[in-house]
Amino acid sequence: MPNTHAQENHLLAALPAAEWQRWQPLLEWVALPLGQVVYESGRQLAHVYFPTTAIVSLLYVMEDGASAEIAVVGNEGVVGISLFMGGETTPSRAVVQSAGEGWRLSSAAVKSEFARPGPVMHLLLRYTQALITQMAQTAVCNRHHSLDQQLCRWLLLSLDRLRGNELVMTQELIANMLGVRREGVTEAALRLQRRGLIRYARGHITVLDRAGLEASTCECYAVVKREYDRLLPERPAT
């Protein structure tokens, strides 16, 4: 049973009253356990997902099975933009990186809503622009910045989408997200721990010094955050 309300997702909370009344009976609650594949590369999507307490990672998967994260989606957004952008499928894979809950809307319903000129279409387009910025900045970050900086960026983006300061995440999953060796993630996490920024043990990462993480990351985190803040409604107070 749901432990969260659908409007804990900021996009759903931003719907005008008339649109919310229309959407409410169409939304279906879903549990999103760690590691669940929400959609697979090349497969036709049946739903879009609005996370409330879960975080979903969008990964690009190579032919040899190697992968790297291109974006994260949490309570600020929606998973499955290709449905309303006209693509039906996408070459990326969506995997739950932090367990939680969310709500989903069928492909037919979201296409119908997006086809109506008005606030829903404009809200989803603004979100899509913010997501594209995150994808572009992630590509630049992975090419030009150190693993320590990338890990700080990734932790901060995840924190922005969580209620607390703790992430449950295996080394292997983090390595897949960042497209690096598992040993590299362990070494980077231990360096951050020695500096007092995080506590890292057995797949649990607790952020001890958020300001220190922000000071240690590259400009990519701030660029992405500014674009989300500029394009999307102010997030509800928690």
Read off the CATH number of the domain in which 27 is found. 2.60.120.10
pLDDT at 237: 45
Residue 11 lies inside a defined structural domain of this protein: yes
Low-confidence spans in the chain with pLDDT less than 50: 236-238
Q: What is the mean pLDDT of the chain?
A: 87
Residue 215 lies inside a defined structural domain of this protein: yes
Does residue 147 share a domain with residue 135? no
As given in the structure block, the two tokens for residue 56 are 């979903």
Residue 207 lies inside a defined structural domain of this protein: yes
pLDDT at 1: 63
Distance CA 26, CA 82 (A): 20
Last residue of a domain, one of 107, 140, 173: 140
Residue 196 lies inside a defined structural domain of this protein: yes
Residue 231 lies inside a defined structural domain of this protein: no
pLDDT at 143: 82
Give the total number of structural domains in the chain. 2
Does residue 201 share a domain with residue 85? no
Does residue 153 share a domain with residue 185? yes
pLDDT at 235: 56
pLDDT at 173: 72
**89 touches 45 (CB < 8 A):** yes
Does residue 106 share a domain with residue 14? yes
For residue 63, the enclosing domain spans 6-118+125-140
pLDDT at 177: 67
pLDDT at 238: 42
Residue 238 lies inside a defined structural domain of this protein: no
Does residue 108 share a domain with residue 147? no
Terminal-residue alpha carbon distance, the chain? 21
Does residue 176 share a domain with residue 107? no
Does residue 103 share a domain with residue 57? yes
Q: Residue 183: CB partners within 8 Å, gap ≥ 6?
A: none
pLDDT at 100: 93
Residue 230 lies inside a defined structural domain of this protein: no
